[in-house]
Structure 1
Amino acid sequence: MIMVSPLQRRQQRINLMQRHQVSANTDDGETLAIAPVAPQPSNQWDVVRASLKKDSAALKSFKQVADKIDYKKRHLEQYQPYFESNTLPVDIAAIFMVWLFDCKEIQQAMLLADYCLKYGAPMPEGFKSDVPTFVADEVLNWAESAFKQGHSTAPYFDQVLARFATDWKLFDQIEAKYYKLCGFMALGEHGTDIKYIPEPAPLYAAKTWFEKAQTKYSKIGVNTRINDINKRLTKLDLPLIAEE
């Protein structure tokens, strides 16, 4: 028995609907309305593109972001077999990547992000950012949420952070946001109440990150944190700059 994938079954349904749109001649020779039949996909990736095009049309019908995310979550499973294909076209990979980030499937999203970066994938139509900028924004949003909930941000936050020192040249504000979050991470659970931090190490570490963020983007909003750290260091009779 030949196994048919969910995507192939979907395409078969689409083809059947298209065939039913074409009317036959009547007995007396009168021709009824004839609708054109769409070109048939020539390979599996054309099938995937046709399916994603239909998904795109369906997503435009939703007004609520939550409804769009729910739709993507329900339809991701049918595309799962294609995620790790070494022949995955970059245009399709970029769409899958966006969907996975939207659905907070961070591990699989990062794998596809690496694939897109390796092969120079463009972002899908309608996106103004490039892949590195998009990935940096998505990982930052995910990391901020994870940190607030007390969850680890490793290894994905660190992976993006490391790219700033190598090959990613993004907007200053994006980098500054990463350094700012690093400052809060250094402060740990007392990040919102610095006066209760008993040890100097997290204070100095956080201050270094906050100052780096401020240097990168002056309006990043860390002045209050730096001042609070200085006050706490003074309270502990410690120098404002860590001694070597």
Structure 2
Amino acid sequence: MTSPAQRHRTRALAAKASAADGAAPAVVGGIFGQMMAKLTQDRRRLHDIKSVERKIGLKRELVPEYQDYLDGVLSGNAGQPDEVLTTLMVWHIDVGAFARGLELADYVLRHGLPLPERLKRNTATLLLDEVAGAIAGGAVLKHDEAMLLLQEVARLVDGQDAPDQARAKLHLAIGKTLAEQAGDEPRGPLLEMARAAVAQLRRAVDLHSSVGCKKLIEQLERKVKNAGSSG
């Protein structure tokens, strides 16, 4: 088990390496090299596993082992290219640790860091596909938590280039979350929430006609109409 002193040293070395003026992260203290070696070993372990479920389980075990390094890089805030950080951003999203994944994504986007070439997507597209897409599929059960995450995704991808099909997932997720919050018989503020849900879902359809929410739009519009006629 890592001691508090070792954890502090890892954070300090990572911050110092990240902040080195124009230097490669591996130069100062060797912490980046150490973490890259660990990442390479962990990737081999993942590669040997066929089951996606077991891969996710292993990633869930591994991500805590990188936290001190990641904290150090974030505090250094120098924006050096860092495959460890970008890979761990993806792993956090893979295991459903969306808040931490978005914290790392904020750093990646602010500094314009490239993702590993094998991902074949930019950061904005990945966030739309994997975070908004997962929430649209019901990955976050608490509506307030889901909405906070979606608002952060929207902030991060604002002005970023991404396919319309991917961006539609954000509007779909927001629309679904608002619809669930509005309930079956929306009144007052909940009625406005239902109307906002319709607007979000219609925008999703505009961006990608096969996004899969036309029936939900019809149901919401009936609820809004019934609420108006009974109000």
TM-based fold match above 0.5? yes
Q: What TM-score, normalized by structure 1, do the two folds share?
A: 0.68
Is 1:182 the counterpart of 2:174? The answer is yes
Q: Does 1:61 align with 2:52?
A: no
Equivalent residue for 1:227? 218
Name the SS for the 1:83 alignment partner: helix
User: Aligned-pair RMSD on alpha carbons?
Assistant: 3.0
Match of 1:213 among 193, 201, 204: 204
**Would the aligned equivalents of 1:136 and 1:174 in 2 still touch at CA under 8 Å?**
yes
Q: 1:45 and 1:197, CA in 2 relative to 1: closer, same or farther beyond 3 A?
A: same
Whether 1:197 and 2:185 are equivalent positions in the alignment is yes
Deviations 1:166-192 (A, max 9, x none): 41221112222221222222223566x
Structure 2 unmatched runs, 5+: 11-28
Which residue in 2 is equivalent to 1:161?
Answer: 154
**Residue identity opposite 1:54 in structure 2:** Q
Report runs of 4+ in structure 1 exceeding 6 Å deviation. none
Counterparts of 1:147 and 1:103, CA distance in 2 = 12
User: Given that residues 179 and 210 in structure 1 are in contact (C-alpha distance below 8 angstroms), is that contact kept between their aligned partners in structure 2?
Assistant: yes
Q: Is the 8 A contact 2:85 2:104 kept in 1?
A: yes
The residue identity in structure 1 corresponding to 2:62 is H
Q: 2:194, 2:224 within 8 Å by CA — same for their partners in 1?
A: yes
Could you say which structure has the higher helix fraction? Answer: 2
Number of residue pairs matched?
A: 198
Q: What SS is found at the alignment partner of 2:211?
A: coil
Once the 2 structures are TM-superposed, how far is the Cα of residue 142 of structure 1 from its aligned partner? 4.4
* Residue 124 (str. 1) matches residue 116 (str. 2): yes
Query: Using the alignment, how far apart are the partners of 1:233 and 1:78 within structure 2?
Result: 49
Compute the TM-score of the two structures, normalised by the length of structure 2: 0.71
The whole-number CA distance in structure 2 between the counterparts of 1:80 and 1:178 is 28
Q: Distance in 1 between matches of 2:151 and 2:55?
A: 29
- Whether the aligned pair in 2 keeps the contact of 1:140 and 1:157 (CA below 8 Å) is yes
Structure 1 residue 60 displacement after superposition: 0.7
**After superposition, where does 1:102-141 map in structure 2 within 5 Å?**
102-141=94-133
Shift of 1:204: 2.2
2:37 equivalent among 36, 39, 50 = 50
Deviation of the 1:151 alpha carbon: 5.4
> What is the percentage of aligned positions where both structures have the same residue?
23
SS of equivalent to 1:220: coil
Measure the CA separation in 1 of the matches of 2:227 and 2:149.
Answer: 35
Q: Report the residue type matching 2:146 in the other structure.
A: T
The whole-number CA distance in structure 2 between the counterparts of 1:79 and 1:163 is: 23
Change (3 A) 1:204 1:108: closer
From the CA coordinates, give the structure whose radius of gyration is larger. 1
Q: Structure 2: which amino acid aligns with 1:162?
A: R
Check the 8 A contact 2:182/2:193 in 1, yes or no. Answer: no
